[in-house]
Amino acid sequence: MKRTPFDPLMVFLAIIPLHFASSETLPSMSPTKCHEQERSALLEFKQSLFHPYVETCSPSKLESWRLEDDNCCSWEGVKCDEGTGYLTGLDLSESCLFGPIDSKASLFRLPHVQSLNLAWNDFNFSQIPSTIGSLVELTSLNLSLSKFGGQLPSQVLKLTNLTSLDLSWNSMLQLRNPSMETMVQFLTKLEHLDVSWLNVSAPVPDAIANLSSLTSLILSDCYLQGTFPRTIFELPRLQLLDLSGNFELSGHLPKFHLGSPIKSLSLWMTNFSGNIPSSIGNLTQLTMLNFALNILSGEIPSSLGKLIQLSYLDLGMNLLSGEIPASLANLTNLTSLDLRDNQLTGQIPAEITGLTRLTHFDLSFNRLTGPIPESISNLESLDFLNLQSNNLNGTLRLDVILKLQHLYMLQLSSNEFSSIIEPGMNASLPNLSVLGLASSNLSELPIFLSYQSRLQWLDLSQNRIYGPTPPWFLNVSVSQLQFFNLSRNSITSFTAFKWLNLLTLDLRFNDIQGLIALPPKSIEFYLVSNNKLSGEISSEMCRLSSISILDLSKNKLFGVIPPCLSNLSNSLLVLSLSGNDLYGRFPQLQNDLCELRMIDVSDNQLQGSLPWGLANCSYLEYLNIENNQIVDTFPSWMGSLYYLKVLILRSNRFHGAIGEPEARDQFPNLRIVDLSMNNFSGCLPSRYFNMWSAMKVHTADDAHYYGMHVPTFYGFYTADDAHYDAHYYGIHVPTFYRFSPDDGKYDYSMTIINKGILLEYKRILAYLNVIDLSSNNFIGEIPNSTGSLTELRMLNLSNNALIGSIPLSLANLTELESLDLSSNKLSEMIPLALAQLNFLAFFNVSDNHLSGPIPQVNQFRTFENDSYGGNLGLCGVPLTKKCGNSIEAPPPPLPYGALAKKFDWKIVLMGFGSGLVIGVVIGLNMTSKIERWFLRFYRGWQQRRMHQIRFV
Ligand SMILES: *[C@@H]1O[C@H](CO)[C@@H](O)[C@H](O)[C@H]1NC(C)=O
Ligand SMILES: *[C@@H]1O[C@H](CO)[C@@H](O)[C@H](O)[C@H]1NC(C)=O
Ligand SMILES: *[C@@H]1O[C@H](CO)[C@@H](O)[C@H](O)[C@H]1NC(C)=O
Ligand SMILES: *[C@@H]1O[C@H](CO)[C@@H](O)[C@H](O)[C@H]1NC(C)=O
Ligand SMILES: *[C@@H]1O[C@H](CO)[C@@H](O)[C@H](O)[C@H]1NC(C)=O
């Protein structure tokens, strides 16, 4: 079985038995003979809803109900009162019932029924019939997972004898009128209430705290809002409380009292904050405690060590700090301890290794230091051990850890081990399937791997492993290995494959030389960029019919791209061949079916024109042709590619006028367009500017990165997926174990000129909107429509033959950080309105025919000579030419070198990156040089944070 380290579904499954524990099973035999009218009511009900041929139906108890059998009390699922013979219990769960229940259904002619169970049927999203209110003797009603829809009928409020009500897993069922609040005001005898996976969308009513008989309350995943009433924790009989999955529900933990009967408490993925009170130690009955995925802070109280009945403890993904209390060593019944993703410091207490029942132990993503205690080998039952991403140091004693014979998953990546001691000969772990030793200071492939035959997932990336791969290594887990990451090492050759079922191979950033090795046909993700591969791309590659990502970029490959590669366009999502010496034509795409999302052939020597077949790639998001010798005109035919976001044609031989769009709504999602260094001519594409609507709409602050998922049939859904839904442009490489949000993420990258400097973007943020049309032969004026692209971050029109004035409308580009209009023939004044561009950090209008005064406010106080040079008519600071009169040139606020002149000023920077409003208010004595320096520094810092760039 494949498992994930953190799988909400598994947590959920672990809770299910508790949820359903209360739906009692009814005895099928009863000596009492039933009443004829009830018998016929049952048969009629069966007749109307029993659909044994529905696909999902398994043999049903209703098959035992026969016309010729008089004693309905002996039928399966039926229970009668021994004295009166009236039917009191009906369990029709999982009975292949299908379709709506009529409000006149014979079911409602069973007036003495006390327990009714219709769970796990399919009522086709119909309403719960209002006549349910006539069954006034009901004490237990279970409608879980039965596909009821609509509003819960108010007649349910008549069922005041109910002690158990389970409406869970009916996602279309609404609790509005009556609301949950009204419901609990009427049904005051409730002991068990389950409305999980219902659309409640309301605060938790305080009135629940009045249900003094309540023993289990399950409110998971029902969109609760507001603050959770603390008094509910104090209900005198409450044993089970489950609020998990209500991420909008905030709250604080209360002071817990001694004698509380709570046995199981799950606040998984809610919004609880504050400390874990030390009074938690009073909950001595607890067996299950899950506070994971909240924003709890402070230390882990050592009183937790008093909860000796605990078998499951999960405090992961909070903001907990301090050391791991040694008192946890007293929790001898613990089987699962998950403290991952906090800010815990100190060492792993050796005492914890006394918890010999532990099967699942996760301390990953903390700040733990020191060694792994040698006594860890006492944890004999352990099958899952994750210590990834801490600061554990010293010698990694694998000889000790690998004594744990049940280990299924061992993840030790990203610590600070200085050396490694391997186990002796034949240390084979029969179950070891997942092994992470990334960033573990390994200098060679650990020999103990040769004894492992069950490995499916192996991560050895970011080590110092050098040289050729030894032959024995290719035999490691030959039939099992599916995922292998050896990236960022110093491997010099990798020539053959024996792994029969390999899906993902990541060899990026090594020193691999020679020809590209052909991976097995099972391969889906083959990443070998940033090596020293040479030779041609063999047409054998075209036989990898399952391949989704092929990344051969930044090698020394030469020759032509095999034309047959285009046959893969219906499986390939990403094709990256950039940074090689490939020449010849870009292959025509033969396939009508093109699934490609990303094509990068930049930095090669491709010739000819763009293949029209690209028009079939209707999901294409990213196309980078930069730095080739493509001869073509503007590909207006790509305008219909709805998802296209990045189009980079820089430095080729494109020519001619861009022309008018061929239809409406062309390139609706384009955000980055770089046509620079070509021979485009004619006017700037004003009508396109009007259409590029993605550059006009503000991207939601909480989605400031962008990317996408690829459906993965063997990927697991983890909490991380939910949280890191789509951040950068890129796609996920499915790895069936995701340990951090970035694991298995394939980011798109690009190189563009920003602020006059060639920058490599390792990842591309969604809100980055760029137009670079520089170094072409564009003529005419800058169209006013440029000002409609209000979300532009960078605009570069330099090195053309543009005339006229700088349009005032550019002042609408309020997000603009970089504006380069240099080396054109622009005339007249620099519009003062541009001074309202608060984020402008780079401004260049040099070598034009501009005249008049330079604005002297805001950002304009930070630009220096080189922004303005070569405009004979410009005057004012920072140029030495003084302006003629005071109307033209207001005096600069401060001359250079004026020391200790007092002034106060204020910058308010808004909307940076996260959408936070950062207000910096400074009242200092500054010279304008310091002011300039500060502004530059501050903006530079902000922007580095924003784009996560790296200088080339
Ligand atoms: C509750 O059940 C009892 C019988 O157990 C019945 O007499 C009574 O009427 C029921 N209560 C209501 C409000 O119907
Ligand atoms: C609960 O625990 C706290 C701290 O451990 C303690 O001070 C308090 O007296 C306890 N309360 C009760 C009612 O037992
Ligand atoms: C541990 O669990 C067992 C049942 O698995 C139970 O009998 C025992 O009392 C528990 N021990 C403690 C200290 O709670
Ligand atoms: C474990 O419990 C015992 C008694 O209940 C206590 O004396 C001891 O200090 C506890 N151990 C730790 C490490 O807290
Ligand atoms: C491990 O790190 C701690 C804290 O940084 C340091 O005090 C200790 O000397 C280190 N131990 C080894 C063996 O490097």
Say what the pLDDT of residue 752 is: 85
Q: How far does residue 344's CA lie from ligand 2's centre (Å)?
A: 25
Mean pLDDT value of segment 818-828: 95
The pTM of this model reads 0.78
Q: Establish if 291 belongs to a structural domain.
A: no
Of all protein residues, the one whose alpha carbon is nearest to atom 2 of ligand 3 is 333
- Tokens at 947, concatenated: 């784009």
CA 197-156-151 angle, to 5 degrees, is: 50
Q: How far does residue 387's CA lie from ligand 3's centre (Å)?
A: 27
Q: Establish if 720 belongs to a structural domain.
A: no
Mean pLDDT value of segment 421-430: 80
* C-beta of residue 346 within 8 angstroms of C-beta of residue 321: no
Nearest atom in ligand 4 to the alpha carbon of residue 302 is 14
Q: How far does residue 305's CA lie from ligand 3's centre (Å)?
A: 15
- Check if 333 has its Cβ closer than 6 Å to any atom of ligand 3: yes
Of all protein residues, the one whose alpha carbon is nearest to atom 8 of ligand 3 is 309
Nearest atom in ligand 5 to the alpha carbon of residue 370 is 1
Of all protein residues, the one whose alpha carbon is nearest to atom 4 of ligand 3 is 333
Please report which residue ranges of 386-471 form alpha helices under DSSP H: 398-401
**Rounded-to-integer distance, Cα 878 and Cα 896, Å:** 9
Q: Establish if 186 belongs to a structural domain.
A: no
- Check if 335 has its Cβ closer than 6 Å to any atom of ligand 3: no
Q: How far does residue 394's CA lie from ligand 5's centre (Å)?
A: 7
Say what the pLDDT of residue 612 is: 87
Same domain, 803 and 852: yes
**Rounded-to-integer distance, Cα 597 and Cα 452, Å:** 37
Same domain, 700 and 771: yes
* C-beta of residue 431 within 8 angstroms of C-beta of residue 402: no
- Check if 394 has its Cβ closer than 6 Å to any atom of ligand 5: yes
Mean pLDDT value of segment 662-690: 93
Q: Establish if 261 belongs to a structural domain.
A: no
Q: Establish if 870 belongs to a structural domain.
A: yes
Mean pLDDT value of segment 477-505: 90
CB count in 10 Å sphere of residue 78: 29
Q: CATH number, domain at 645?
A: 3.80.10.10
* C-beta of residue 243 within 8 angstroms of C-beta of residue 267: yes
Mean pLDDT value of segment 299-309: 94
Hey, which of 327, 351, 355 would you mutate to test ligand 4's pocket, going by the most ligand atoms within 8 Å of its Cβ?
A: 327
Q: Establish if 139 belongs to a structural domain.
A: no
- Check if 309 has its Cβ closer than 6 Å to any atom of ligand 3: yes
- Of the listed ligands, the closest to the CA of 277 is 2
**Rounded-to-integer distance, Cα 312 and Cα 251, Å:** 22
- Cα separation of the two ends of the chain: 45
In total, the chain counts a number of residues equal to 952
Same domain, 864 and 938: no
- Give the pairing type, strands 295-299 and 605-607: unpaired
φ/ψ of 141, rounded to 5, equals: -130, 120
Nearest atom in ligand 2 to the alpha carbon of residue 279 is 2
Q: What is the residue whose two structure tokens read 């699922």?
A: 77
pLDDT of 735 > 70? The answer is: no
Q: How far does residue 252's CA lie from ligand 2's centre (Å)?
A: 17
Same domain, 898 and 941: yes
- Check if 808 has its Cβ closer than 6 Å to any atom of ligand 1: no
Of all protein residues, the one whose alpha carbon is nearest to atom 5 of ligand 5 is 369
Same domain, 773 and 668: yes
Mean pLDDT value of segment 358-375: 93
In Å, what is the CA distance from 325 to each residue of 336, 415, 655? 16, 21, 70
Give the amino acid at 940: G
Q: How confident is the model at residue 915 (pLDDT cuts 50, 70, 90)?
A: very low
Of all protein residues, the one whose alpha carbon is nearest to atom 5 of ligand 3 is 333
SS3 195: coil
- Check if 393 has its Cβ closer than 6 Å to any atom of ligand 5: yes
- Check if 635 has its Cβ closer than 6 Å to any atom of ligand 4: no
Q: How far does residue 159's CA lie from ligand 1's centre (Å)?
A: 9
Higher-pLDDT residue of 934 and 410 is: 410
Higher-pLDDT residue of 847 and 595 is: 847
Hey, which of 114, 115, 140, 161 would you mutate to test ligand 1's pocket, going by the most ligand atoms within 8 Å of its Cβ?
A: 161
CA 63-66-67 angle, to 5 degrees, is: 145
Same domain, 864 and 899: no
SS3 78: strand
Cα 702 to its chain centre, rounded Å, is 12
- Of the listed ligands, the closest to the CA of 158 is 1
CB count in 10 Å sphere of residue 941: 10
**Rounded-to-integer distance, Cα 701 and Cα 706, Å:** 11
Q: What total number of domains does the chain contain?
A: 2
Residues with beta carbon inside 6 Å of ligand 2? 257-258, 278-279, 281-282, 303
**Rounded-to-integer distance, Cα 271 and Cα 550, Å:** 41
Q: How far does residue 173's CA lie from ligand 1's centre (Å)?
A: 27
pLDDT of 478 > 70? The answer is: yes
Of all protein residues, the one whose alpha carbon is nearest to atom 14 of ligand 2 is 258
Q: Establish if 752 belongs to a structural domain.
A: yes
Q: pLDDT for 377-413, tens place per residue? A: 999 999 999 999 999 999 999 888 988 999 999 999 9
Mean pLDDT value of segment 650-658: 96
Q: Which of 495, 503, 504 is nearest to 473 (CA)?
A: 495
Q: How far does residue 79's CA lie from ligand 1's centre (Å)?
A: 18
Mean pLDDT value of segment 44-72: 80
Mean pLDDT value of segment 477-492: 91
- Check if 160 has its Cβ closer than 6 Å to any atom of ligand 1: yes
Q: pLDDT for 154-198, tens place per residue? A: 999 999 999 999 999 998 999 988 999 999 999 999 999 999 998
Q: How far does residue 491's CA lie from ligand 5's centre (Å)?
A: 30
Q: What is the residue whose two structure tokens read 């020519």?
A: 655
Structural domain of 872: 621-706+748-888
- Check if 351 has its Cβ closer than 6 Å to any atom of ligand 4: yes
Same domain, 794 and 928: no
SS3 510: coil
Same domain, 680 and 652: yes
Q: How confident is the model at residue 710 (pLDDT cuts 50, 70, 90)?
A: very low
DSSP characters for 102-143?
PTT-GGGG-TT--EEE--S-B-TTBPPPGGGGG-TT-SEEE-
Same domain, 649 and 761: yes
Q: What is the residue whose two structure tokens read 């907990």?
A: 320
Of all protein residues, the one whose alpha carbon is nearest to atom 2 of ligand 4 is 330
Q: How far does residue 138's CA lie from ligand 1's centre (Å)?
A: 8
Nearest atom in ligand 5 to the alpha carbon of residue 393 is 1
Long-range contacts of 883-892 (CB under 8 A, 24+ apart): 883/852, 883/853, 888/852, 888/853, 889/853, 890/853, 890/856, 892/856, 892/928
Q: How far does residue 366's CA lie from ligand 5's centre (Å)?
A: 16
Mean pLDDT value of segment 709-717: 27
Of all protein residues, the one whose alpha carbon is nearest to atom 7 of ligand 5 is 370
Q: Point out the least confidently predicted range of 274-278, 565-569, 743-747.
A: 743-747
**Rounded-to-integer distance, Cα 790 and Cα 696, Å:** 5
In Å, what is the CA distance from 352 to each residue of 335, 373, 378, 379, 794? 12, 9, 10, 9, 55
Same domain, 646 and 767: yes
Say what the pLDDT of residue 206 is: 94
Largest CA distance in the chain: 114
Domain boundary at 888, 912, 937, which?
888
Say what the pLDDT of residue 666 is: 92
Q: Which of 2-11, 65-74, 95-104, 805-814 has the highest mean pLDDT?
A: 805-814
Mean pLDDT value of segment 609-615: 90
Domain boundary at 861, 888, 915, which?
888
SS3 533: strand
Of all protein residues, the one whose alpha carbon is nearest to atom 7 of ligand 1 is 137
Mean pLDDT value of segment 617-645: 93
Hey, which of 308, 330, 331 would you mutate to test ligand 4's pocket, going by the most ligand atoms within 8 Å of its Cβ?
A: 330
Q: pLDDT for 324-365, tens place per residue? A: 999 999 999 999 898 888 999 999 999 999 999 999 999 999
Domain boundary at 888, 903, 938, which?
888
Same domain, 898 and 852: no
Say what the pLDDT of residue 923 is: 25
- How many helices (H) and strands (E) are present in the chain, helices listed first? 7, 62
Hey, which of 323, 345, 369 would you mutate to test ligand 5's pocket, going by the most ligand atoms within 8 Å of its Cβ?
A: 369
**Rounded-to-integer distance, Cα 730 and Cα 753, Å:** 21
Q: How far does residue 520's CA lie from ligand 4's centre (Å)?
A: 56
Nearest atom in ligand 2 to the alpha carbon of residue 255 is 1
Same domain, 773 and 696: yes
Hey, which of 253, 280, 282 would you mutate to test ligand 2's pocket, going by the most ligand atoms within 8 Å of its Cβ?
A: 282
Q: How far does residue 224's CA lie from ligand 2's centre (Å)?
A: 30
- Check if 369 has its Cβ closer than 6 Å to any atom of ligand 5: yes
Q: What is the residue whose two structure tokens read 């099972």?
A: 522
Cα 641 to its chain centre, rounded Å, is 25
**Rounded-to-integer distance, Cα 116 and Cα 105, Å:** 14
The DSSP bridge partners found for residue 343 are: 321
Q: Establish if 33 belongs to a structural domain.
A: no
- Check if 308 has its Cβ closer than 6 Å to any atom of ligand 4: no
Work out the mean pLDDT of the chain and round it to a whole number: 82
- Of the listed ligands, the closest to the CA of 302 is 4
- Check if 303 has its Cβ closer than 6 Å to any atom of ligand 4: no
Q: How confident is the model at residue 56 (pLDDT cuts 50, 70, 90)?
A: low
Hey, which of 86, 136, 163, 187 would you mutate to test ligand 1's pocket, going by the most ligand atoms within 8 Å of its Cβ?
A: 136
Mean pLDDT value of segment 479-498: 90
Of all protein residues, the one whose alpha carbon is nearest to atom 11 of ligand 2 is 257
